[in-house]
Amino acid sequence: MLRPFVSIFLTARPHIDYRDIVRDLKEVYPITISANDSDIRTYLTARIGDSQRLKALLTTDPSLEGDIVVAVCQKAQGMYV
């Protein structure tokens, strides 16, 4: 006879305290995942390259891409969706 078996995958932002939600579970394996600036930079560069509107803006001010990437990386603080 098989035992009942359920797996739960729970995600939360760093500022959310999830411990009350999982306190009755027998086995909890927390994993902290965060993006690094390289991940964010790669994503933004690809998205900017895909946007006709942003590419048009960059023709008038090429430094704008770097400004966008730096500003978003600073604000992201390791969070990336």
The reply to whether 6 falls in a domain is: no
Q: At what angle do helices 37-50 and 52-60 cross, to 10 degrees?
A: 100
The reply to whether 28 falls in a domain is: yes
Parent domain of 52: 19-76
SS3 call for 2 = coil
The reply to whether 32 falls in a domain is: yes
The reply to whether 31 falls in a domain is: yes
pTM for the whole structure = 0.56
d(CA 47, CA 1): 51
Q: Is the pLDDT of residue 24 over 90?
A: no
The reply to whether 66 falls in a domain is: yes
Taking alpha carbons only, the member of 21, 17, 20 closest to residue 9 is 21
The reply to whether 34 falls in a domain is: yes
Cβ count near 69 (within 10 Å):
18
The reply to whether 5 falls in a domain is: no
The reply to whether 62 falls in a domain is: yes
Please report the pLDDT score of residue 80 as a whole number. Answer: 59
Please report the pLDDT score of residue 50 as a whole number. Answer: 93
What are 25-73's pLDDT values in tens digits?
778 888 877 778 888 889 999 999 899 998 888 899 989 999 999 999 8
d(CA 71, CA 63): 12
Q: Considering its fold, how many domains does the chain have in total? A: 1
